Amino acid sequence: MLIINQVNQREVGLTNNLKSKKIMLKKSIQLFFAISLSVLLIQSVNAQSVWDSTGTTIYYNDGKVGIGSTSPTGHFSVVKTGTIGANGNFTNAYIYLADGTRQLGLDPNQVYASNELILSAVSGYIGMQTNGTERLRINNTGRVGIGNDAVDISGTALDQLVVGNGSSSQGMVLYHGNTSDAGYAFANTSGALTGRILYRGSSDRIGIQHGGVEKITIASNLVNIIPNAVFDGNVGIGASTPEELLHVSSGTSGDAVLRLEADTDNSFEGDNTRIEMFQDDGSIGVYIGFDQDWNGGGTQSDNLFRIVPRRANTNIEDAFIIKTEGSTGDVQSYIGIGTTDPTNALEVNGTIRSKEVRVEATGWPDYVFHPEYELRSLEEIEAHIKAKGHLPEVPSAKEVEEEGQHLGEMQQLLLKKIEELTLHVIELKKENEAQQKEIEKLKGN
């Protein structure tokens, strides 16, 4: 101002001729440049108090910087309206970075990076993309989707981690059922959880489910499989390297036990346990197993172990049977071949061919030759034959037909009769010799 006042005083006493006007114009131009220079000097002094530089680096010394705000909240504040949006509109970004190929935009709701990364608060989730396709999503409840933007395939709050292919609801789910259950689930294309592997904390067991039904249960003392299990290869029970389709081993000691059981409720309804071996269409084969023979009134009558061949779709039920009957302390067993109801230790309905049959017996009839043995006379034998039609002690034909014969007893009886016959022959020989002597004597006279 002082410079401006001095210039004005100099112009007061000038004449109004042309020369004096030129002088005033010149002085005015000088005044303008003087004022402009003063302003620049003042601004330069003020600026140097906030900004400073070191080489090519410029930095801010104090205060806050605001873009779009006259009262910045933070040291560097950008204030505007709008958001990048799902389509990645970088013109709405608050801060924009680019390297010539990739772009990064930020706003208060979203971080968006060239279709590779989306961090969003507006939609309530964090998402990550590659090649324009979402690969990872974490929603506002903490549930995670990998390969799927659907973090709740089953449509419930059970899903915690979903891994899918991005094109459908098909995938794998890590979920929790309640405070004690958790597991993995496998969803089909419609999102139905058709398969599960789960741990049930309430019962301390692991289960494998299909269609909502637990097919395999693994607990500390059991493995339960229902209803069907298919294994492609050899199965070992107690054998680490099974050599057959089913290999049961007790290891270095103990019995190898395979237990088959039916009718665990003991209701005597005729349930049977069998091992069935059939060929092709099942028209031929054999089954080996236990049949519970019952009387139809709900009570058990017999237990039958059977070997039943099958030919031309027909079971031969009486091929081989072991029958047990009786009560506790008095159980009897009978073997039947060709019969379904044996009543003897071994009962065969058919022909037996053998090179040798050895029968153990006691009371062999050597006693016939003892001096004290009372031999029936021929007259007694003749009278018995006339009355009974068979030898004494020998069963009749009717008895043999109805009851059969005891082979050991019959052998003893036949030998006894032969020995008795031998004694009679010896006695007759003696009588004959005595008579012959009498005849010779009579001839000599």
Lowest mean pLDDT among 6-10, 52-56, 206-210, 266-270: 6-10
Is the residue at 409 inside a domain?
yes
Return the SS3 of 96.
Answer: strand
Does residue 257 lie within any of the structural domains? no
- For residue 140, is it left (φ>0), alpha (ψ between -120 and 50) or beta? alpha
124 and 29 assigned to the same domain? no
Residues 234 and 308 occupy one common structural domain:
no
Label residue 336 by pLDDT band (50, 70, 90): very high
DSSP bridge partners of 111 = 106, 119
378 — pLDDT class (breaks 50, 70, 90): very high
* Strands in 213-372 per DSSP E: 213-219, 222-225, 235-237, 246-248, 273-279, 284-294, 300-311, 314-315, 320-327, 330-337, 346-348
Are 97 and 236 in the same domain?
yes
Task: Looking at the structure, tell me whether residues 108 and 244 fall in a common domain.
Answer: yes
Q: Are residues 310 and 176 in the same domain?
A: no
Query: At how many degrees (to 10) do helices 2-10 and 18-47 cross?
Result: 180
- Domain for residue 22, yes or no? yes
Evaluate whether residue 392 is within a structural domain.
yes
Task: Give the total number of structural domains in the chain.
Answer: 4
* Tens-place pLDDT, residues 84-101: 765 667 888 888 888 888
> CA 126 to CA 111: how far, in whole Å?
10
Last residue of a domain, one of 248, 281, 298: 248
* 443: enclosing H helix or E strand: helix 407-444
Q: Are residues 158 and 219 in the same domain?
A: yes
Q: What percent of the chain has pLDDT over 70?
A: 71
Residue scoring higher pLDDT (257 or 392): 392
Q: Which two tokens stand for residue 323?
A: 């029958």
- Average pLDDT of the chain to the nearest whole number: 76
Residues 287 and 175 reside in one and the same domain: no
The answer to whether residues 102 and 175 belong to one domain is yes
pTM strictly above 0.75 = no
Q: Is the pLDDT of residue 163 over 70?
A: no
Of residues 408 and 183, more confidence is placed in 408
Domain contains 52: no
The domain boundary residue, chosen from 315, 348, 381: 348
- Max mean pLDDT range (309-318, 346-355, 401-410): 346-355
pLDDT of amino acid 41: 47
- How many residues in total does the chain contain? 445
Indicate if 39 and 145 belong to the same structural domain.
Answer: no
| Token pair for 408 | 């050991």
The Cα 395–Cα 310 span in angstroms is 40
Residue 64 domain-assigned? no
Residues 6+ apart with CB under 8 A from 333: 322, 323, 324, 345
**Confidence at residue 341, expressed as pLDDT on a 0 to 100 scale:** 87
Task: Looking at the structure, tell me whether residues 198 and 289 fall in a common domain.
Answer: no
Domain that holds residue 12: 2-47
Please determine, for residue 134, whether its predicted confidence score (pLDDT) is greater than 60: yes
In which band, very low, low, confident or very high, does the pLDDT at 4 lie, cut at 50, 70 and 90?
very low
In a domain, 111, yes or no: yes
**Do residues 139 and 151 touch, judged by C-beta distance below 8 A?**
yes
Give the model confidence (pLDDT) of 282-298 as tens digits. 888 998 988 776 555 55
**pLDDT at residue 11, as a whole number:** 39
pLDDT tops 50 at residue 21:
no
**Does 268 reside within a domain?**
no
| pLDDT band at 240; cut points 50, 70, 90 | confident
CA dihedral 19, 23, 29, 31 (to 10 degrees): -160
Looking at the fold, whether 338 and 435 belong to one and the same domain comes out as no
**Do 344 and 369 sit in the same domain of this protein?**
no
